[in-house]
Amino acid sequence: MLYNVIFLESCDPKITWHGSLPRKILIEPEYSVKVFIGGVPWDITEVELLASFGTYGNVTVEWPGKDCDHSKHPPKGYVYLIFNSSESVKKLLQNCSRSDDKYYQLVSSRQRKSKEVQVIPWALNDSNALRIASSRLDIDKTIFVGGLHGMLNADGLMHIMDDLFGGVVYAGIDTDQYKYPIGGSGRVIFSNRKSYIKAVNAAFVEIRTKKFKKRIQLDPYLRDAMCTQCHKAPGPYFCRDSLCWAYYCKTCWNLRHRPASLADHRAMKRTSNKTKSRPIPR
């Protein structure tokens, strides 16, 4: 089982990628049943949203804090719609006005009548990009990517990583139960170790396109491993420093990093939650 690892020692990105992302024209794409609605009036209610969007099929509305502090109105000006079927999403999009590849719909609240909101669907094809000639996908050449921008799809991620490091065979955006992007994270798999190490050593990359600017974070994807020193205990602590690049048990980590020259190495630990890397207590 693999876990996401967040390595939060922040530093300025050494690498910046400038460019424009490839535009993929999808013919009749299959969409996630979850849709983002941006720019909703601050006073809009669930009932008013359902009045606008319920005509396309069974739908529920979600927004941040709806279960606790913000039960009445969405606090951040956006909501998610979750339809029962992707046919409803198609119907909704067919009824939107379009400009510049963007979809718009009108909603009304008590204060704002006929306010235009943006409807942003997610095409399922945008979650994964696989290079056809790729042979096999290797966990030991996989990186975890964090901090992804919502406008970046798997093809875009593959394009950028390939440009910077070469040898990308797979790029994927992590998705939730509705196959909708979750948490701005993803994975990239390389065909060769050189590209993989280059990416891990970069640690951070700044992405600049005409549409957005975002700093993303690159970490090795950790696996279940035995301690590479004693081979007797599980090795949950990984040292990404090129002098070590190994999994350790706690005892072996401390032995290995006792010399002052290695004392500043930080352990990465597999975890199901986001954690900071920190020195292991001795």
Between 119 and 227, CB nearer to Zn ion: 227
- Residue 116 is a binding residue for Zn ion (CB under 5 A): no
Residue 54's contacts (CB-CB under 8 Å, 6 or more residues apart) are none
* From candidates 35, 40, 107, 239, binder to Zn ion by CB under 5 A: 239
| Shortest distance (Å) from residue 11 CB to Zn ion | 18
- Residue 265 is a binding residue for Zn ion (CB under 5 A): yes
Between 167 and 236, CB nearer to Zn ion: 236
* From candidates 30, 241, 258, 276, binder to Zn ion by CB under 5 A: 241
* From candidates 89, 188, 249, 268, binder to Zn ion by CB under 5 A: 249
Applying CB under 5 A, which part among 32-40, 57-65, 169-177, 240-248 lies near Zn ion? Answer: 240-248
| Shortest distance (Å) from residue 254 CB to Zn ion | 10
- Residue 225 is a binding residue for Zn ion (CB under 5 A): no
- Residue 187 is a binding residue for Zn ion (CB under 5 A): no
- Interface residues with Zn ion (CB under 5 A) are 227, 229-230, 233, 239, 241, 244, 249, 252, 265
